[in-house]
Amino acid sequence: MLDKIKQMVELKKQADQIKRELDAAVIDVQEVRGIKIAVSGAQNFKSIQIEEQLLTAANKARLEVDLLRSLNAAVAKSQVLAAQKMKSVLPGFPGI
């Protein structure tokens, strides 16, 4: 029983360390020309930069589609980073 508690405490420490690392990691994504997104490994958006020539009424629909594509790419890359961090700390853990 005591060994299980020690394991749980150690897992909590490792999870907290991973969270700190993911919060500090910033991934820059430029999936679409003219749109740059920065997202943390914890999937918090840090910035969105859109080139000025894209900000016209004529480009509205295209910008919306490109922005969604860029946001989805940024989230996917942050998920990959999170999975890599988890694998390094918890090798062989089911579902990772």
Phi-psi region of 32 (alpha: psi -120 to 50; beta: other; left: phi over 0): beta
Pinpoint the alpha helices (H) of the chain. 2-24, 60-89
- Domains defined along the chain, listed by start: 2-89 (3.30.1310.10)
The pLDDT of residue 88: 79
Q: How many alpha carbons fall within 13 Å on the CB side of residue 11?
A: 10
The pLDDT of residue 51: 95
- Secondary structure element (H or E) that encloses residue 26, with its range: strand 26-32
Query: What's this model's pTM, rounded to 2 decimal places?
Result: 0.78
For the record, the structure tokens of 84 come out as 């890599």
Residue-level pLDDT, tens digit, the chain, 96 residues: 788 898 888 888 888 888 899 999 999 999 999 999 999 998 999 999 999 999 999 999 999 999 999 999 999 999 999 988 888 777 666 655
